[in-house]
Amino acid sequence: MHGAIRLVCSSQNRLKTASWGLLFLGATGALYWQFGVLFEQYWGYPVIMTVSVHSEGKLFPSVTLCDMNPHRPRLASQQLQALDEFARENIYALYKFNFSGSGDAPLAEDRGPEPTFRLDRSIRLQKLSGPGGQNSVGFRLCNSTGGDCFYRAYSSGVTAVRAWYRFHYLDLLGALPTDHEHSHQDHGGHFVFSCHYNGQDCQARHFQTFHHPSYGSCYTFSGMWAAQHPGITHGISLVLRAEQQDHLPLLSTEAGIKVIVHKRDHTPFLEHLGFSIRPGTETTIGIREDEVHRLGSPYGNCTEGAEGAGVPLLYNATYTMQACLVSCFQLLMVNTCSCGYYFYPLPAGAEYCSSARHPAWGHCFYRLYRQLENHQLPCVSRCPRPCRESSYKLSAWTSMWPSSKSEDWILAVLGQHSRRHLGRSPGQSPGRSPRWSQRPRSNVAKVNIFFQELNYRTVDETPVYSVPQLLSAMGSLWSLWFGSSVLSVVELLELLFDAVALTLLLGCRRLHRGQGSQRRAAHT
């Protein structure tokens, strides 16, 4: 070992010995300080992101489309009328405007059973004046004994009216029997005019339909094909009806079609993701896929599946952080308010909130929701990110469709086609059958979705220090300060071991001799 030799060889010269000794100690100190820094970094488990590009074809993602025309549940038509009447009163009191309500008059055959539902008339829209003199609109929520009141206030009147209406709407839906959704299965058959994917016509088995209480009839298209070529002809092309219907004008105010591109086995969260397509346009959407692979413990938090999360997943789908957060909120809601929020699935044994069974659930819900907004709920720490995650980067182009020149014939052909093949859905009443020849352009839309390129990128987390890298960093530090190898360290250890052994041996012998002479002294 360098330095140690000089220490031994310069034993005649005290000055040299002292300076070599100091240098030796200084180098040892610097080395161990640097080792400390190195290990601190290593135990921080830092990662770097490595981006790589792959070129094999990926499975085409699922596309969920919703027409944003929620239907009036048939079982609740009377109750909804009472709600619309109440909304009219409230809006008139605030804005002196008589809103005309929905065009849907309940038909005699649509009558549900006798209403068990009781409109909570104590929750009214009010004008509130804030501390700064600015006006806001909101409603007051109190607990079941009328105490602990607070206001849910919105600076925008439109947001306030929608939130207030939505609250009463959910209150009403929560009182319905849970299997009423089956009556919605009929709807929606008239929403997709034509569908074409990868050069073939879509089959019914590619589609899954469901009805969302605020996004209306929804379709999920998931064809099982891996795109072999990029480009529009290998994607999916849909012609859709984008007609505005006034079933629930206070609930849905947007005209268009909601689109979400997601992985096949993931639940689409319509409230949180997606974008809307404007009626009367052709929208072309190019997809690029990015995949993120996380390393997991100890480099960070991620989970392979629902088992790794702190919350049981309420969705029968692959783990996503959003599904976990929603499940977490719903479980907290069921625990604190003893009923579930209508938009989310229920855990076993729970029921949806409605003021008939759970008086003042709104007070409890909005209190919890405010905690969620203020990040006071423990959901984020219970829901780690998944270790493998795909995200889709979308680019969109639009043009007018159909053009004013071709509008007439396209709409006529679509109308014929639709009447022949899809028919009128049984849920529609006869008086409102669409008159296709007079249909303006803004009632249809076209969407093309395709892989923009077949390359996809993966972003992998890679540890900055693996064990070999740590050892080589230690080795270079050691040679920087001492210029020696592992074997020199073993030599040093041997020296130490020998010295210790020799000392012990000598010590033992001296002790032995001392005892022997004592014994001899005692003899004499």
- As given in the structure block, the two tokens for residue 312 are 């049981």
User: Is the Cβ of residue 126 or residue 301 nearer to ligand NAG in the bound state?
Assistant: 301
What is the C-alpha R_g of the chain? 36
> DSSP letters of 342-370?
TTSPPPTT--B--TTTSTTHHHHHHHHHH
User: Is the Cβ of residue 324 or residue 454 nearer to ligand NAG in the bound state?
Assistant: 324
- As given in the structure block, the two tokens for residue 50 are 């490595």
Rounded distance, CA 402 to CA 419, Å?
19
User: Is the Cβ of residue 21 or residue 359 nearer to ligand NAG in the bound state?
Assistant: 359
DSSP state of 109: G
User: Is the Cβ of residue 172 or residue 309 nearer to ligand NAG in the bound state?
Assistant: 309
Instruction: Name the minimum Å distance from CB 194 to ligand NAG.
Output: 27
Rounded distance, CA 165 to CA 83, Å?
8
Contact between 361 and 167 under an 8 Å Cβ cutoff? The reply is no
- As given in the structure block, the two tokens for residue 12 are 């005649």
Instruction: Name the minimum Å distance from CB 494 to ligand NAG.
Output: 42
User: Is the Cβ of residue 146 or residue 468 nearer to ligand NAG in the bound state?
Assistant: 146
- CB-CB neighbours of 382 under 10 Å: 15
Rounded distance, CA 18 to CA 66, Å?
84
Instruction: Name the minimum Å distance from CB 144 to ligand NAG.
Output: 5
Instruction: Name the minimum Å distance from CB 310 to ligand NAG.
Output: 7
Rounded distance, CA 249 to CA 99, Å?
10
- As given in the structure block, the two tokens for residue 419 are 């009447």
User: Is the Cβ of residue 6 or residue 382 nearer to ligand NAG in the bound state?
Assistant: 382
Instruction: Name the minimum Å distance from CB 189 to ligand NAG.
Output: 23
Q: State how far Cα 517 lies from the chain centre.
A: 85
Report the interface residues with ligand NAG, using CB under 6 A: 92, 98, 143-145, 147-148, 300-301, 316, 381
User: Is the Cβ of residue 382 or residue 424 nearer to ligand NAG in the bound state?
Assistant: 382
Instruction: Name the minimum Å distance from CB 188 to ligand NAG.
Output: 20
User: Is the Cβ of residue 12 or residue 98 nearer to ligand NAG in the bound state?
Assistant: 98
Residue in the block written with tokens 């639940």: 267
Instruction: Name the minimum Å distance from CB 364 to ligand NAG.
Output: 9
Contact between 390 and 325 under an 8 Å Cβ cutoff? The reply is no
Residues with Cβ within 8 Å of residue 445, at least 6 apart in sequence = 239, 240, 242, 256, 257, 277, 278, 279, 280, 281, 282, 283, 401
Give residue number: closest CB to ligand NAG.
147
Instruction: Name the minimum Å distance from CB 147 to ligand NAG.
Output: 3
